[in-house]
Amino acid sequence: MQDLRKRTWWADWGKSLAKYWQLYLLLIPVIVYYLLFKYKPMLGVQIAFRNYQLRKGMWLSDWVGLKHFLRFFSSYWSWTIIKNTLIIGFLSLIFCFPFSICLALIFNELHSQRFKKTMQTITYAPHFVSTIVVVGMMTAMTSPSTGVINKLLVSLRLVDEPIYFMGSSKYFRFMYIYSALWKDGGWNAIIFISALAAIDPSLYEAATVDGASRMQQLIHVTLPSILPTIVIMLILESGKVLNVGYEKAYAMQNDLNLAVSEVISTYSYKRGLEAMEYDYATAIGLFNSVISFTMLITVNAIAKRASETSLF
């Protein structure tokens, strides 16, 4: 019996290989790519536990156990960075995620299809503006000496002195979230808009017959219908809380706002590429990846229990 099963297994493989050998051939470069550029760096994280020396490489450098992690956790600055990362991550989750849902709901209530299309085109557009240009525009437009925003605030007498938005710890988080909303708030609504479009119109008809107002329809028909989409997106977002857009954070950083703008990823990058402490930097990055992954798994598990919707 055992033997037979084994034989058919091989036979299946043989048959499939004979018929589709070209397709297996196509997959080989793909697998090589993934091993070489995604999984080899995962093996590379072992230097987080080694004293990395260039001439010994990642396999032969001496083991040092948790030394780099202990160093990271024993520094006061590290806790500031962890705090910064969590704050920016959760602020993004609290503001950006519901904003996109609201935007989708608002668009869904628009009568005129042409007006709706135009508004969609406008709100999606900033998605195509690069991070660097977004940060560059913020820097230029909020400049205390020449920026239009400060000119406006001063002429409206909302402030006495121009505010150096980009060079102040106080405004960094606001600027970070605001620019995230501007750039991707509309774009991230697309997924909810398509979920809304798929709702069965007869549900609304039934609600109207029952005398439900627009607001009641929104709460009792629309929201429950798109809940699965919301849950899936929430799970995906939760995996990103620690992986805050480091490319933008890095671009927005300067000496004046570093106390709030330094996040785990940017710190790891600087430790590694600017200070050449590859092993220490890898340890910091690994800490970040592991926590992110754990959060994703946890939120996924909670969602599975609570709403029977999950990513995997």
Partner 1 sequence: MQKLTNLPAKTPSHHMIANRGDRFFQGCIYVLTILIAIVTVYPLVYALSASMSKPLNIMNGNVWLWPVELSFQAYKNVFASKSIILGYGNTIYYAVVGTAINMVLSVMAAYPLSMPDIKGKNFVTILITFTMFFSGGIIPSYLNVRDLGLLNSRWAVMIPGAINATNMLILRNYFIHSVPGELREAASIDGCSAIGTMFKIVLPLSKSILMVVMLYYTVSHWNSYFDAMMYLQKAQEKWPLQVHLRNILIMSQMGDMAEQSGVDDVNTQLLYEALKYAIIVVSAAPLLILYPFVQRFFEKGIMMGSIKG
Q: Residues 227 to 286: which contact partner 1 by CB under 8 A? A: 229, 232, 239, 247, 250-251, 265, 268-269, 272-273, 278, 281-282, 285-286
Which residue from 7, 40, 56, 170 is in contact with partner 1, where contact means CB under 8 A?
40
- Cβ atoms of 175 and 252 closer than 8 Å: yes
d(CA 309, CA 224): 13
d(CA 187, CA 104): 10
User: 42 vs 159, which CB is nearer to partner 1?
Assistant: 42
What SS3 state is found at 143?
A: coil
Amino acid at 195: A
DSSP per position, 49-117: GEE--TTTHHHHSEE-TTHHHHHHHH-HHHHHHHHHHHHHHHHHHHHHHHHHHHHHHHHHT-S-HHHHH
Amino acid at 5: R
Regarding 288 and contact with partner 1 (CB under 8 A), the answer is yes
Residue 230 CB, shortest distance to partner 1, in Å, is 12
Which residue from 66, 70, 94, 133 is in contact with partner 1, where contact means CB under 8 A?
133
d(CA 32, CA 30): 5
User: 63 vs 128, which CB is nearer to partner 1?
Assistant: 128
Q: Which of residues 67-126 bind partner 1 (CB under 8 A)?
A: 103, 106-107, 109-111, 113, 115, 119-126
User: 146 vs 169, which CB is nearer to partner 1?
Assistant: 146
Q: Which two tokens stand for residue 30?
A: 């793909």
Report which of 17, 10, 84, 30 is spatially closest to residue 241, judged by C-alpha positions.
84
62: β partners: 51
Q: Which stretch binds partner 1 (CB under 8 A): 32-40, 59-67, 74-82, 90-98?
A: 32-40
**Binding-residue pattern over the window 44 to 63 for partner 1, x denoting contact by CB under 8 A:** xx-x----------x-----
Residue 247 CB, shortest distance to partner 1, in Å, is 5
Query: What single-letter DSSP state applies at residue 37?
Result: I
Strands (E), the chain: 50-51, 62-63
Regarding 219 and contact with partner 1 (CB under 8 A), the answer is no
Q: Which of residues 143-202 bind partner 1 (CB under 8 A)?
A: 145-146, 148, 151-152, 155, 182, 186, 190-191, 194-195, 197-198, 201
Report which of 119, 95, 93, 97 is spatially closest to residue 108, judged by C-alpha positions.
119
Which residue from 64, 87, 91, 137 is in contact with partner 1, where contact means CB under 8 A?
137
Regarding 34 and contact with partner 1 (CB under 8 A), the answer is yes
User: 86 vs 221, which CB is nearer to partner 1?
Assistant: 221
Q: Which stretch binds partner 1 (CB under 8 A): 22-30, 61-69, 82-90, 169-177?
A: 22-30
Which residue from 53, 78, 80, 131 is in contact with partner 1, where contact means CB under 8 A?
131
Which residue from 214, 227, 256, 301 is in contact with partner 1, where contact means CB under 8 A?
214
